[in-house]
Amino acid sequence: VTRTTTITDPVGIHARPAAKFAQAATASGCTVTIAKQGGNPVPAGSILSIRLGIKQGDTVEVTVDGDNAETVIDSLIETLTAAE
């Protein structure tokens, strides 16, 4: 399952939301990747991978593979946007 979202936080994805997202991705038990639009997907379990220089207005693509992928991706997108 793949979804896209636009980052609206004025500082983009910084350390705190990246850490929350990485923890949620790891806890899901699914294979999760994140990519800046036009970029290569990286594992979402690493805070360093997630930051990717993502700024306000950038679009990211989140992909989840595993059990309950729809529920997991909904939760992960909410985690990304709730930090804003």
Residues taking part in catalysis: 14
How many CB atoms neighbour CB 38 within 10 A?
Answer: 8
> What is the token pair recorded at 75?
């939760």
> Which value, in Å, is the radius of gyration of the alpha carbons in the chain?
11
Instruction: Evaluate whether 32 touches 44 at the Cβ level (below 8 Å).
Output: yes
With tokens 């699914």, the residue in question is 30
